[in-house]
Amino acid sequence: MAPPRKSRRTDVSNLARSFTARRHELGLTQAELALLAGVGRSTVQAIEGGKDAPQLDGVNAVADALGCDLTLMTRAGAIVEPGER
């Protein structure tokens, strides 16, 4: 059995700080952002609070409401482009 992966809490914290900073740039409250994203305020709070495992659909909806895209990046910093099926 494979050993458990270490928690990458700093990555979650970076995500939380980025979302909070963008919300502040736009002058939105958490409640206003939640309304724009079509999610509950608790979802925005969980994301900005650095919750270890926020729901991806909620993160994506909030990113979209902030005018942002989520990008998959390798640890070496290369962006992973979506492949065609």
CATH number of the domain residue 14 falls in: 1.10.260.40
- pTM across the whole model: 0.76
Q: Is the model's pLDDT at 54 over the cut of 70?
A: yes
Say whether 60 sits in a helix, a strand or coil.
helix
Average pLDDT over residues 59-80: 93
48, 19 contact by CB (below 8 A)? yes
- Asked if residue 42 belongs to a domain, the reply is yes
Q: How confident is the model at residue 82 (pLDDT cuts 50, 70, 90)?
A: confident
Q: How confident is the model at residue 12 (pLDDT cuts 50, 70, 90)?
A: low
Average pLDDT over residues 46-63: 88
Mean pLDDT of the chain: 87
Q: What was the pLDDT predicted at 13?
A: 83
Q: How many domains does the chain have?
A: 1
- Asked if residue 28 belongs to a domain, the reply is yes
Nearest to 51 by CA among 6, 4, 15: 15
| Domain limits for position 47 | 9-65
C-alpha 45: how far from chain center = 11
Say whether 73 sits in a helix, a strand or coil.
strand
Structure tokens at 80: 């992973």
- Asked if residue 3 belongs to a domain, the reply is no
The predicted-structure confidence for 15-47, as pLDDT tens digits, reads as follows 899 999 999 999 999 999 999 999 999 999 999
